[in-house]
Amino acid sequence: MQLLTSLLVPTYPDPPGPKVASNAVAVANQLDATLDAAVINVDIPDVSNALSSLLLDLPEKIREANAASRKRGKALLETVAAEAARCKVTLTSQELKAQPAFIGETAATEGRYFDLCMVGWTRNIESIRATAEEVVFSSGRPTLILPDDEDVGVLDHVVIAWDGSRVAARAVADARPFLERASTISIITVTDEKVLPREDIGDRLANGLAARGLRAKAEQIHAGDNEIGAALEDHAIRINGSLLVMGGWGHSRLRDFVLGGATEGILSDLRLPVLMSH
């Protein structure tokens, strides 16, 4: 059964970096998957009244914001289409719209119809971060978060962040398409961050993967004085990992995300693609 992947891109107030299109197509190509590119354009309601028209010219500003968002969306879809044609990836595309407060929710809702969601990541742009977090925690689908400033390359060394938790187990299951195509699988357990179920959890996971025909090596690391997210990412990069797989821990209350330590650390300084499941 062919995998269905989705690239979800907000276009307001700023879109992710220019590499999100080529990276998403490259991932779909590696997975022999189809790709649906969905841009979420802003739809700011008209607030026309005499005062806003005379003093602030709000109606015109709203029209300009909506038009600029649509223009960015069309340009991005054209870029994805050109890249998909070059790589011979089957592509569908769509333009969605949402009010500013509901862009992330619209992206997450759309992502539920696919096997894998992909989102771009740009540091210090809150709207992009909020959309990515909403997709991770509300879509019900694994989400691949793509850095915006470099090519993802071949995702052939998969690094699993493993603590034996429910969300980590969900992430490993969701990562199966990547694991089956990987040349190297590393299982990393941080031993000094919290109490673990038992000492050999990494070896147990490696044995389980071996029973499924996947060879993996387990190792333990210490976070020391570093944040756990930074320790995981640093180690993954040190061993030339090309994809980090981890569970996303957090919840939403009144649309404000409260993230677990590893999740927050990874999202604050994303330096390689991360497959996150919740």
Domains of the chain: 4-147 (3.40.50.620), 157-277 (3.40.50.620)
Highest mean pLDDT out of 59-68, 122-131, 246-255:
59-68
Separation of alpha carbons 221 and 188, rounded Å: 7
Sequence-distant (6+) residues with CB within 8 A of 147 are 19, 121, 270, 271, 272, 273
Separation of alpha carbons 107 and 241, rounded Å: 28
Separation of alpha carbons 222 and 181, rounded Å: 29
Separation of alpha carbons 130 and 105, rounded Å: 10
Q: What is the predicted pLDDT for the residue at 263?
A: 56
Separation of alpha carbons 7 and 151, rounded Å: 16
Separation of alpha carbons 24 and 41, rounded Å: 19
What is the band of 249 on the pLDDT scale with cuts at 50, 70, 90? Answer: low
Share of the chain above pLDDT 70, in %: 88
pLDDT (average), residues 262-278: 78
What is the band of 259 on the pLDDT scale with cuts at 50, 70, 90? Answer: very low
Kindly tell me if the per-residue pLDDT of 56 is higher than 50. Answer: yes
| Residue linked to tokens 């390689």 | 272
Separation of alpha carbons 235 and 272, rounded Å: 12
User: Nearest-CA neighbor of 116 among 1, 272, 273, 6?
Assistant: 6
The DSSP letter of residue 55 is I
